[in-house]
């Protein structure tokens, strides 16, 4: 319990410090500023802390939590890939025909620049495999998700379909919500999760990033590119 509480407090203080000292998210009326404003108005750190505690209670709960996240991330990353004209679930010719041109799509601009570092789905899959008897044979089944998770997944699919139709940036809101949470809190949550659940060294993988410089500098680059995405949409 104390580990979870400390994790939530550390996450809030460290993340707040990064957000306070950055410049790209303070440009008036930029997409970065508007996304941050929405987050500040709606994000409840107490609720987040309780959710974190619940996922750390037992390995079984953590697997359920991670399975839901895998469903969300695998769907989102597949939709982002489709916007760029490549997807493991579609043939190359069809994907290329339906993709939006790079210079016209804010989603393509963002994902081509950050997909290599941000991808989480396979890391989540690795965590699930390591904590279950299924091992590498884990097969994702959407029917196992809760109604709330399925609603979330369907919303991501709809956003992706619309973005590929009109070149808009609906998926950017989903990417901001998920990846900024990972970047801002993942470095803090990894160790408490491993200690609370007595996981092997190297787990969980989902919070591991390979930054080209340091975390703050990379987060700043994310915000700068969100601002550019806003300009593309305008």
Peptide bond into 174 cis (omega under 30): no
Q: Which of 7-11, 88-92, 173-177 has the lowest mean pLDDT?
A: 88-92
Residue 62 to residues 16, 81, 131, 204, Cα–Cα distance (Å) = 26, 28, 9, 10
Above 70 in pLDDT, residue 98?
no
First-to-final CA distance of the chain: 47
Above 90 in pLDDT, residue 53?
no
The answer to whether the beta carbons of residues 89 and 78 sit under 8 Å apart is yes
Above 70 in pLDDT, residue 79?
yes
Structure tokens at 213: 């410089």
CA of residue 30 relative to chain centroid, distance: 21
Above 80 in pLDDT, residue 188?
no
Structure tokens at 116: 């290599």
Structure tokens at 93: 């010719």
Q: What is the pLDDT of residue 144?
A: 83
Q: What is the pLDDT of residue 92?
A: 43
CA of residue 107 relative to chain centroid, distance: 14
The answer to whether the beta carbons of residues 106 and 169 sit under 8 Å apart is yes
More confident residue, 132 or 96: 132
pLDDT band at 231 (very low <50, low <70, confident <90, very high): very high
Q: What is the pLDDT of residue 86?
A: 62
Q: What is the pLDDT of residue 106?
A: 96
pLDDT band at 97 (very low <50, low <70, confident <90, very high): very low
Above 90 in pLDDT, residue 69?
yes
More confident residue, 57 or 1: 57
**Average per-residue pLDDT for the chain:** 83
How many whole angstroms separate alpha carbon 206 and alpha carbon 125?
9
Q: Is 185 helix (H, G, I), strand (E, B) or coil?
A: helix
Q: What is the pLDDT of residue 187?
A: 67
The answer to whether the beta carbons of residues 224 and 35 sit under 8 Å apart is no
How many whole angstroms separate alpha carbon 229 and alpha carbon 206?
26
How many whole angstroms separate alpha carbon 68 and alpha carbon 63?
9
Above 60 in pLDDT, residue 80?
yes
How many whole angstroms separate alpha carbon 45 and alpha carbon 35?
17
How many whole angstroms separate alpha carbon 234 and alpha carbon 231?
5
Q: Select from 175, 179, 226 the least CA-distant residue to 207.
A: 179
């Amino acid at each position: 319990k104390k580990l979870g509480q400390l994790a939530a407090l550390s996450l809030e203080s460290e993340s707040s410090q990064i957000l306070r000292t950055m410049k790209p998210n303070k440009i008036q009326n930029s997409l970065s500023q508007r996304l941050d404003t929405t987050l500040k108005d709606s994000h409840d750190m107490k609720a987040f802390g309780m959710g974190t505690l619940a996922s750390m209670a037992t390995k079984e709960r953590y697997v359920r939590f991670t399975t839901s996240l895998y469903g969300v991330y695998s769907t989102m990353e597949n939709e982002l890939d489709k916007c760029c004209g490549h997807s493991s679930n579609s043939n190359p010719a069809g994907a290329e025909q339906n993709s939006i041109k790079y210079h016209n799509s804010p989603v393509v601009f963002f994902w081509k620049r950050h997909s290599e570092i941000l991808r989480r789905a396979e890391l989540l899959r690795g965590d699930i495999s390591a904590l279950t008897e299924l091992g590498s044979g884990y097969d994702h089944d959407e029917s196992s998700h809760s109604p709330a998770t399925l609603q979330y997944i369907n919303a991501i699919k709809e956003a992706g379909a619309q973005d590929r139709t009109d070149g808009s940036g609906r998926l950017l809101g989903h990417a901001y919500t998920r990846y900024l949470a990972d970047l801002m809190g993942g470095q803090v949550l990894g160790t408490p999760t491993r200690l609370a659940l007595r996981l092997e060294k190297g787990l969980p993988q989902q919070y591991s990033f390979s930054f080209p410089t340091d975390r703050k500098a990379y987060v700043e680059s994310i915000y700068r590119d969100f601002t550019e995405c806003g300009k593309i949409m305008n």
